[in-house]
Amino acid sequence: MKDFKDKVALVTGARSGIGAATARHLAERGAKIAIGVRNDGDGEQTLAAVREAGSDGAIFTIDVSDEQQIEDGVAAVVDKFGRLDVLIANAGIEPTDTVPIQDWTVENIDNLLTINLRGVLLTCRAGMPHIVKAKGSVCLLSSLMGTVGSFGVGPYSATKAGVQGFTRTLAVEQQANGVRVNCVVPGAIATEMLERFSSTIGGFDAGKNVPMGRAGTAEEVAAAIIWLCSPAASYVTGQSLGVDGGITVVMPAAE
């Protein structure tokens, strides 16, 4: 299926994990891919996968903590490809510690807010004029922790809940422009980030804690992102779609 043929998609945080999987699958469906990465030299594996899928792509250094890099990066994408149809704001970081709010440093709080929430807002601000012109679609990435409570991750949860709230407002704001905006809310997904976060919290057993009995894959999240951005979801906007193996809809059994 080539339902993204001649479309241009920018995926931030596309070096690995969900971002890389999304870029690859969009390429398989005909999109040209702007691969947003935080550091110079990243993204080569994703670019190789995009080209192997038979599509055109290019790497753009876009550190979403840097307003000017976001503005310049989006401008460079449009300069190279001539348009922007799909925006996937995927770049984000996990907390490096799990402690009560009174033990968080201002520096750590600011770092999460800057990248996970401010970065999403600024990415959308920079990309929206081009998305409006194309009457395109936007997908933002939240997290299970933005929906449920968990010990020691207050600032991270706040950023991810903020992304869901922003999704709803942006959808209402942009509907008159023919732009759809949605959000994907991954649960425990087998990525480098989950490995790092799991080690921070002392381990996470997906087999015991996820109703489906396993962690999800980056490809499964990418499939949800692509569906939300595709013509198949033409009547869907302002939604936050959980891709979590059922973890948010089950009550723990009493022992």
Q: Which residues are identified as catalytic?
A: 156
Indicate the residue type of 174. Q
d(CA 192, CA 196): 6
Residues 214/184/46/131 CA torsion (nearest 10 deg): 170
55 close to 27: Cβ distance less than 8 angstroms: yes
Long-range contacts of 101-107 (CB under 8 A, 24+ apart): 101/154, 101/155, 104/154, 104/155
List of E strands, the chain: 8-11, 32-37, 57-61, 86-89, 137-141, 180-186, 240-243
* 145 in Cβ contact with 159 (< 8 Å): no
| H-assigned helices in 1-66 | 17-28, 44-52
